[in-house]
Structure 1
Amino acid sequence: MGFRHDVTHLGGAWKPSYGLVAIPLALIVAVTVIDIHAPTTVHLGPFLIAAPAITASFAGPGLTGAIGALAVAAQAVIGHLHGGLMTANHQAQIAALVVISVFVTIFRYVRDRRERQLGQVRSVAAAAQQVLLRPLPRRIGPLRIASVYIAAEAEAQIGGDLYAAVSAPGATRLVIGDVRGKGLPAIGEASVLVGAFHGSAYRNLSLPGIAAHLGNAVYWNAAHLADGGPDVNESFVTALVLDIQEDGPFVDMVNCGHPPPLLLRDGQVRSLDVCEPALPLGISGLPESHYTVETFGFEPGDLLLLYTDGVIECRDRSGAFYPLADRAGSWRGSGPQSLVRHLHEDLIRYADGNLGDDAAMIAIAKSS
């Protein structure tokens, strides 16, 4: 879903950075040699503190402490050759060097421990993401599919946007949605909806039936958690539920308050707006009759782009919204993977790496 950096620790350090240890070692040698040959009135020993400080920027606490000890030893050598270790000046320098080296080493230890904890959190988030948002297969029957999920919180890796796909009789059924709110409550509601969607696959429900089922699942979950309180109606999910027919050049869709898909055909971009959008899922326990199916053409060679509002509500530094239709129309690649990659990279550049909300995109192409 995004870019990751794998860091290997050995005592908290990144292995390739150990080559940088030559810098603090050279500094210790240079300061020691120059100070020994300088007049006794010149004191360069205080510069030795730079050695452990530099080491802490790229190495772990073990190497940082070792460099600090070496710096203290170098200061002792300088003191021995310049009037003896018992002079007040050299004792003060050694004491200050010991204290600062210990402080820098402890700081590096605490930082490494927090990095390890953060790494564990990222691993848990990645595992949760795999459970909640199962990766969409690249092929389902005649369909080629590409998807991307971009969490607004970089460390979370997962948020309230969702998508899923299952096989239905003669069609591939997909859902894409956006839970109101953020954080753990949004993730919980997303998991409820995705679970209900996967669990309904064997029931062969109609498209309005699946929409009603998902809406009731979200509503029941909110009512159960809120114990019937006034916040029940404030929990909802905007969603698209659609069937892409395998034998016919069309797609059936129920839109529950979600941004309309874009259809790319022959270099032109068309928004698939429905005439009768339904209320978002979970507003209340609505019956199947509330949901209306609308049909659009979807021929071999077309590309269908599904997305959440985190994409079109993303802003640049001037506050302008991301022009998704224009950016998709300017794309000159081929296939869903290329389109999703292009829009993903373009969106990150547009927002300068700082999305205001979670964002998800799915591109679908139909083979002839």
Structure 2
Amino acid sequence: MLPFVTMAAVAVADLVTSPSLGFLPLISVGPAFAPLVGGWRRTACIGVIALLLSAGLGWCNDLVDARRGYMAIASVIGVTVAGLVAVSMRQRREAELDSFRSIAEAAQRVLLKPVPRLAGDLRVAVSYMSAVAEARIGGDLYEVVAFPGGVRVIVGDVQGKGLEAVETAAVVLGAFREAAPDEADLVQVGRRLERAVDRQLDGEKFVTAILAEVSDERVTFLNFGHPAPMLIRAEGTVDLPEPPAYALPLGLGAHGTEPPEPFQADFLVGDQLLLYTDGVTEARDADGRFYPLPDRAHLLKERDAEAALETLRQDLLQHVCGPLQDDAAMLLLRYR
């Protein structure tokens, strides 16, 4: 409505004031706003309305034969022609953007495939939020793979964000999807990941990750410098299982440190397991306070796993009161 409101305001101002004040040329402001939305037909229509309005006001002010009347009409025609060119350029850019978005969505389906809602005896829910505006993928990664002995899961966080982080995430996910169904134990899966990342990365990037294997009401973890998982027991207590010793993230194997040691915890019917990235726990509110994830465990009481995780996600967004500064991924596991 902005072009029409502008032209109406200029017309009223021109009629109630003296013609010597020179409001008439401002009619061209209306067609100047027209290319912001709509196509060339709308822009041309607004230009014609402005032209008729300019001619009518010129006739009312006895400016039909005056230079100022001709200049007002010429300015309307010039701005309308420029607006038509701008509409053509804008529509071409929008078509290119739509093409890029379709490619990005295809990349998302390849990189972060939708996880199965049911995997073995487990019910799975995932939440992912990218810190990059208008992006659906970023540097956080997750995957759920069933194998003969149970279910294996990975949640990771690539250093940095944007397209470079997406490329690194693709390397880690590809190696995990290949190794998880075949290797006999979780340690071998971790070694396959280390070899794949060491081959692909240049030593300046790294990936924190936690691997989990759920089998026979036990969960085995392998932690590569990642935040501790959160186990919510059936009675409501919260555990944060810690490894015997923290290992370096993936990609830093050249430093010659010891690989991570597996550690276990009970995972019984009625318990919940939440794996997440540091974009969740390091999200700050307006006063700089971190998000207190363990204190929010009660938000996961919904019977439906996806609804419970959505409640937690909304609470996280309410905590930061704005866009996240880092990618944030959460993966929730429950027994059926």
TM-score, normalised to structure 1, is 0.81
**In the alignment, what sits opposite 1:268?**
237
Task: Judge conservation of contact 1:216–1:285 (CA < 8 Å) in 2.
Answer: no
**What's the offset of the Cα at 1:30?**
8.7
Q: Secondary structure at the match of 2:253?
A: coil
**What's the offset of the Cα at 1:25?**
5.6
Matched to 1:357, the amino acid is D
Structure 1 pair 26/305, CA: closer, same or farther in 2 (3 Å)? closer
Task: Judge conservation of contact 1:236–1:282 (CA < 8 Å) in 2.
Answer: yes
Matched to 1:238, the amino acid is T
Establish whether residue 144 from structure 1 lines up as the match of residue 123 from structure 2: yes
Task: Judge conservation of contact 2:31–2:46 (CA < 8 Å) in 1.
Answer: yes
CA RMSD of aligned residues (A): 3.0
Task: Judge conservation of contact 2:299–2:312 (CA < 8 Å) in 1.
Answer: no
**What's the offset of the Cα at 1:75?**
1.4
Which runs of 5 or more residues in structure 2 are unaligned? none
Task: Judge conservation of contact 1:122–1:157 (CA < 8 Å) in 2.
Answer: no
Task: Judge conservation of contact 1:303–1:336 (CA < 8 Å) in 2.
Answer: no
1:149-200 deviation per Cα after TM superposition (whole angstroms, max 9, x unaligned): 1111022321111111111222101111111122332211111111111112
**What's the offset of the Cα at 1:295?**
0.9
Establish whether residue 115 from structure 1 lines up as the match of residue 70 from structure 2: no
Deviates more, 1:103-112 or 1:250-259: 103-112
**What's the offset of the Cα at 1:35?**
6.4
**What's the offset of the Cα at 1:105?**
4.3
**In the alignment, what sits opposite 1:278?**
247
Structure 1 pair 31/293, CA: closer, same or farther in 2 (3 Å)? closer
* Residue of structure 1 aligned with 2:73, choices 94, 97, 100: 94
Establish whether residue 64 from structure 1 lines up as the match of residue 37 from structure 2: no
Identity of matched residues, %: 37
Matched to 2:231, the amino acid is L
**In the alignment, what sits opposite 1:154?**
133
Q: 2 CA distance for matches of 1:48 and 1:190? A: 54
Task: Judge conservation of contact 1:79–1:85 (CA < 8 Å) in 2.
Answer: yes
Q: 1 CA distance for matches of 2:7 and 2:160? A: 55
Task: Judge conservation of contact 2:300–2:309 (CA < 8 Å) in 1.
Answer: no
Structure 1 pair 46/268, CA: closer, same or farther in 2 (3 Å)? farther
Task: Judge conservation of contact 2:34–2:46 (CA < 8 Å) in 1.
Answer: yes
Structure 1 pair 100/362, CA: closer, same or farther in 2 (3 Å)? same
Paired residues in the alignment total 335
**What's the offset of the Cα at 1:206?**
1.3
Q: Secondary structure at the match of 2:126?
A: strand
Establish whether residue 182 from structure 1 lines up as the match of residue 151 from structure 2: no
**In the alignment, what sits opposite 1:328?**
297
Deviates more, 1:26-35 or 1:235-244: 26-35
Task: Judge conservation of contact 2:146–2:181 (CA < 8 Å) in 1.
Answer: no
Establish whether residue 127 from structure 1 lines up as the match of residue 106 from structure 2: yes
Establish whether residue 203 from structure 1 lines up as the match of residue 171 from structure 2: no
Q: Secondary structure at the match of 1:317?
A: coil
Q: Secondary structure at the match of 1:290?
A: coil
Deviates more, 1:47-56 or 1:210-219: 47-56
**In the alignment, what sits opposite 1:249?**
217
Task: Judge conservation of contact 2:299–2:308 (CA < 8 Å) in 1.
Answer: no
TM-score, normalised to structure 2, is 0.88
